[in-house]
Amino acid sequence: MVQIAQVQGFTAIALGLIIGLGALGACIGIGVMGSKFLEAAARQPELVPLLQGRMFLLAGLIDAAFLIGVALAMYFAIANPLLSKLG
């Protein structure tokens, strides 16, 4: 019984780290990308439509990586495969 509680506790800590660090990384990545986009748009305004499309594409990819981490964390929160090994 103690082992199950330990696995659930460590899983909860891991879930917090996955979601928290994933959100932090996505926010920093999108912030840096947005600042570089504004710098490039100020230097060459004629390239704004091309850069804007690429910026939104990359923002979607960055968010997708974060959402994959959230999905993995929810999988471990709901159906933890580690608990079946203790059975």
* Active site amino acids: 63
Q: With contact defined as beta carbons under 8 Å apart, do 55 and 34 qualify?
A: yes
Nearest to 63 by CA among 14, 35, 22, 34: 22
Q: Token digits for 46?
A: 């004629």
